[in-house]
Structure 1
């Protein structure tokens, strides 16, 4: 261990300050196979000669070793904090945070020490080198500790989504070869043991929430141990071996998988994305570049509320903090939100307490904040309303001037407007100390970006996939273009291809900046290459040769022989390197005349004109024309849950006499409101470039879309095929 520590100290001396040599910041890939499928696969990659991702500027490493170095550098700082036990909601929407002295905390040294204790316990409980530990529960310090413990013993952490069914849990535990499952409450425990007879590889279940001692005996006589989290820590102390742990860590390589992110497909079983250690080293090195702005948020206060089982949450809350403490000596404290904060709309209370310096939100979260703030603003009258309108006008003017190509200058009286009004809005949200705002995982509208921008919160949109270990492009601090997904930072490659007659990649020409309508010849599939690309989709040999062959073919169709990861997203890149997404190839609607119609721009245009709508989904593939399903803003709709029948926010203003969705469905005022928005989109040539793109009819869905009801993935992406099948009886009469 001493030798490893010394190596880490040498590594830590490298600072990412050198400017890349032109033409040498990208690696040269030899044609071949650039993925693996087996759990023990060690990923290999070429290094760039220079730049932020060269071997000298971003040396490969493994996360357990980085956590060790972080503990040495910032060991006394608080790393993890949570309220335990979680207090109940006092009344709807009200759940103030506990005083800081009542939070349960781990310092960075305690974080490292407890991860070691867990790793020793996991080895004793049967987690093999290249095995795995599944983690099932809402974000918590125990989630982070278990993930680090799994990595430390040479295995992988595997997150289970809170919305997974017992059958999905069974598949992921079995497919990932999990010997240990760490779970939170009774619900997660019950879902895990529902198919315990089939989970013959599962040796132990560790519970961090309410725990009732029990022993699970299978029919074949085998036993699955059940223990509390504290018992597992003590088991590692008493039964674990430092020597065995040292051997596991010495066998660890940066190209080994550290975690598995299960993608949530609309059909078939989810694919197991293998994230290797070096992929996240590359993400950390990119995050340290000045023009990303991420370093401005460190030392950091981070609120953890997005699922850690998704790449966005795990990267921001779990992995970035370790990398920053290790490489820069910059500590962070991750504060864990309450499990009900999104459902009960009490996240604001946590934000107001934490005052985060970095805030990551999926578009749905920002949209919900916007809707609530607009509803409050609608109640203000008189002089206060005039002052607020004037101040936001100044804020919007400044926000637009900060966009790429703008002057960057403040309008007259902006400083006064900010002091009197805009700063108070940021303060009320608990985001007054936030240095960087990030949005990702799904499209976000320009309207939402400008809404927060006028308040002094410039959101940077990022784009990537689980398969690219998170971000691949982002709107840089000095080149932020609303409506785009930004540029590839130095060291990551992004190109747009069309497929040639022999299956070869043909790069499409870049478009001129600022085009309203981009020719088809400038559009293609967005593809990535670099150190951040996954090891591959994992196959489990126990599942048979056919399964291994199937996963191998899925890998080959995703990562080509030149190392390019094919995203499936359609878009274009302008001559400034700015990328915009115009659709997803699997989502394209094929019009009656063979037109390729991207639904997202049309849907966003309708929502912009009708802010009382929650979701718009265009339907028209293999149909004579297009129709739209729309959902309305309603109480309790969080993305995870569909909410109830009562309208909420600005939806109550469309027709004040109508208070429910069921009444809105029959209301002519509501029908005109929606039709006007559709007409506006249909008549905008920048949105509907021909008649084939126009929407002819619509239907109001009697409830909102949600994860629970199946229309959304866990990262709140729309499952179009599921939604279309679910609402078939609404759709078919419209054609």
Structure 2
């Protein structure tokens, strides 16, 4: 079978190969869709969308939770010769209006719960003519199931006419430094970038992945949706991302992508569980994890354990580590990845100690997703690995990471000047990240060019590294923001993780809403002890002199966090100006 050159061709080949295998499902098999059913539904939906006038060159917006309907609709739009793109469900109406205007989409496919935002966006300038609901008809919107087919639509000829350099999707950046930019990605961009999966080993119908991150994020589309079309791996959708850790035992994924917050919460949950077992079992588990950490460090450094440590590890694996992996549903992972933001080193080492092969990767929407990643045979802690196939990586004079290859975006939609600023005439993508190579050629990301702290004494520091140190040493912590630019010393705003705080409250006999608990002296003392532990891992100039525990929770897509959990530093600085000044 020839290698497909478009995702339409890939889908048709995959569906024909094993039509009776399950392609899409939900937890507990409440919904299962075979490849045959998937193929038939794509034809039906595409024919109905063609009846609304959707055709080659058009764009269609999707505003859906993680569900089988997302995959059905996205793939159907592709088979119309059009371009589907997803928007974050947390987007306010003014952002949606901007995106709809920028994308020129006349059709939105959504769930009823998002209709108020969409309708408000239309009144603010979004050029939308048709709203299609996947979960029933309501006033002003048509039900997906009742679309009138286009009588003259040639389904086969239309999808076969899609070309490799046609637009596959538009991914809107999180907008940490201004309005979201629409990154235009082609079929070739993804298919070239997917070569990294093939390098890591065979992937096919027996593989399983979980789709729980927003599909408006390039990484989730790459890891679940597009690999489903290209390789046939089974996708289980989880509509509520907070339920992903409980879904793992149902899915037992062979491929799993986690953002750092997922891994931090997994470690917090395991640590909390250990506190509930007998002292003997707790001591045994901690011994085994310690042995696992020694193995992880040795593997990271490229050295072989001595015979005594190999024996200890075999015992730890048999008595403890394999059981932990099975308990959390990550016992069958063969390709694991962490991305979107730096993972705390201690958390990464902990996961590797358990025997979960999590490779930290680096990339950005503008290079489709992955630029570098560690391979399973040498996961080097503290680095983001080696270049993926087909991508060149270089450093600019100021240490900026530069990427070049066939997976680099076509450009920003309707922003030729911004495109020229980002991708130079030689094809190098200027990432805005500062990096360095170690002696083995592994890339380390030092920081964002525009996020480096320069204190009053002129010392350059990475706020991300400091924030990760606090997060790794503070089980109660949610997102943390470090302040210190042009200041005499560093301070921090610390939010608390609701689940961790609830466990702490129960253990210490505390009660009350989140905001009250955040100000409890016992909580403050616990956080203070953890921050001091974090300070011991930092240089003196990096250490946190004082901090403020915030009573609120920062949710993804809020004023303080992007939908992908990146800090919105400028809005944070403005919102908490008085609290910040009080710390100085």
Into which bin does the TM-score normalised by the smaller protein fall?
over 0.9
Residues 1:265 and 2:190 aligned together: no
CA, structure 1 residues 490+258, in 2 after alignment: closer, same or farther (shift >3 Å)? closer
Give 1:715 deviation, angstroms.
Answer: 1.1
Question: What CA deviation, in whole Å up to 9, does each residue of 1:589-641 have, x standing for no partner?
Answer: 22223333211222222333333322332112233332211222333x8xxxx
Residues 1:208 and 2:134 aligned together: yes
Residue 355 of structure 1, aligned match among 252, 261, 285: 252
- Distance, in Å, in 1 between the alignment partners of 2:101 and 2:395 is 37
Residue 39 of structure 2, aligned match among 112, 137, 161: 112
Give 1:656 deviation, angstroms.
Answer: 6.7
Residue 565 of structure 2, aligned match among 704, 711, 716: 716
Give 1:465 deviation, angstroms.
Answer: 0.6
Residues 1:706 and 2:570 aligned together: no
CA RMSD, 1 decimal = 2.5
Alignment-derived partner of residue 142 in structure 2: 227
Give 1:164 deviation, angstroms.
Answer: 0.9
Residues 1:194 and 2:109 aligned together: no
Alignment-derived partner of residue 18 in structure 2: 74
Alignment-derived partner of residue 196 in structure 2: 286
Q: Alignment partner of 2:213: what SS?
A: coil
Contact 1:449/1:458, CA 8 A, preserved across alignment? no
Alignment-derived partner of residue 278 in structure 2: 381
Any stretches of 5+ residues in structure 1 without a counterpart? 1-8, 13-59, 83-96, 217-225, 325-330, 500-523, 540-550, 638-646
156-165 or 705-714, which moves further after superposition?
705-714
Contact 1:472/1:488, CA 8 A, preserved across alignment? yes
Q: Alignment partner of 1:145: what SS?
A: helix
Contact 2:557/2:563, CA 8 A, preserved across alignment? no
Q: Alignment partner of 1:580: what SS?
A: strand
Alignment-derived partner of residue 731 in structure 1: 580
Contact 1:130/1:156, CA 8 A, preserved across alignment? yes
Q: Which has the higher contact order (CA 8 A, sep 6+)?
A: 1
Alignment-derived partner of residue 240 in structure 2: 340
Alignment-derived partner of residue 452 in structure 1: 351
Any stretches of 5+ residues in structure 2 without a counterpart? none
Alignment-derived partner of residue 547 in structure 1: none
Alignment-derived partner of residue 466 in structure 2: 602
- Distance, in Å, in 1 between the alignment partners of 2:126 and 2:383 is 48
Contact 1:394/1:411, CA 8 A, preserved across alignment? no
Alignment-derived partner of residue 32 in structure 1: none
- Distance, in Å, in 1 between the alignment partners of 2:413 and 2:386 is 30
Q: Alignment partner of 1:412: what SS?
A: helix
Residues 1:407 and 2:304 aligned together: yes
Alignment-derived partner of residue 443 in structure 2: 579
Q: Alignment partner of 1:72: what SS?
A: helix
Q: Alignment partner of 1:648: what SS?
A: helix
Alignment-derived partner of residue 427 in structure 2: 563
Give 1:109 deviation, angstroms.
Answer: 2.8
Residues 1:437 and 2:364 aligned together: no
Question: What CA deviation, in whole Å up to 9, does each residue of 1:223-250 have, x standing for no partner?
Answer: xxx3212223xx33xx24343x455435
Contact 2:517/2:523, CA 8 A, preserved across alignment? no
Q: How many residues align?
A: 581
Question: What CA deviation, in whole Å up to 9, does each residue of 1:299-342 have, x standing for no partner?
Answer: 21112111111111101111012222xxxxxx3211112x2351
Question: What CA deviation, in whole Å up to 9, does each residue of 1:151-201 have, x standing for no partner?
Answer: 2222211101111112222222222111221102x2212221224345574
Contact 1:662/1:702, CA 8 A, preserved across alignment? yes
- Distance, in Å, in 2 between the alignment partners of 1:203 and 1:434 is 44
274-283 or 125-134, which moves further after superposition?
125-134
Q: Which aligned pairs between 1:421-436 and structure 2 lie closer than 5 A? A: 421-436=320-335
Q: Alignment partner of 1:321: what SS?
A: helix
Alignment-derived partner of residue 320 in structure 1: 227
- Distance, in Å, in 2 between the alignment partners of 1:320 and 1:714 is 22
Alignment-derived partner of residue 289 in structure 2: 392
404-413 or 441-450, which moves further after superposition?
404-413
Give 1:458 deviation, angstroms.
Answer: 2.4
Question: What CA deviation, in whole Å up to 9, does each residue of 1:501-531 have, x standing for no partner?
Answer: xxxxxxxxxxxxxxxxxxxxxxx11111101
Contact 1:633/1:651, CA 8 A, preserved across alignment? no
- Distance, in Å, in 2 between the alignment partners of 1:105 and 1:674 is 45
Alignment-derived partner of residue 140 in structure 1: 67
CA, structure 1 residues 199+658, in 2 after alignment: closer, same or farther (shift >3 Å)? closer
- Distance, in Å, in 1 between the alignment partners of 2:498 and 2:127 is 44
Give 1:439 deviation, angstroms.
Answer: 0.8
- Distance, in Å, in 2 between the alignment partners of 1:136 and 1:558 is 28
- Distance, in Å, in 2 between the alignment partners of 1:564 and 1:348 is 38
Give 1:137 deviation, angstroms.
Answer: 1.4
Alignment-derived partner of residue 417 in structure 1: 316
Give 1:390 deviation, angstroms.
Answer: 2.5
| Larger Rg, first or second structure (1 or 2) | 1
- Distance, in Å, in 2 between the alignment partners of 1:675 and 1:385 is 25
Output the TM-score relative to the length of structure 2: 0.93
Question: What CA deviation, in whole Å up to 9, does each residue of 1:14-56 have, x standing for no partner?
Answer: xxxxxxxxxxxxxxxxxxxxxxxxxxxxxxxxxxxxxxxxxxx
Give 1:411 deviation, angstroms.
Answer: 2.2
Output the TM-score relative to the length of structure 1: 0.74
Contact 2:456/2:487, CA 8 A, preserved across alignment? yes
Alignment-derived partner of residue 152 in structure 2: 241
Q: Alignment partner of 1:278: what SS?
A: helix
Give 1:351 deviation, angstroms.
Answer: 1.6
Q: Which aligned pairs between 1:54-203 and structure 2 lie closer than 5 A? A: 61-82=5-26, 98=28, 100=29, 103-184=30-111, 186-197=112-123, 201-203=127-129
Contact 1:474/1:489, CA 8 A, preserved across alignment? yes
CA, structure 1 residues 191+560, in 2 after alignment: closer, same or farther (shift >3 Å)? same
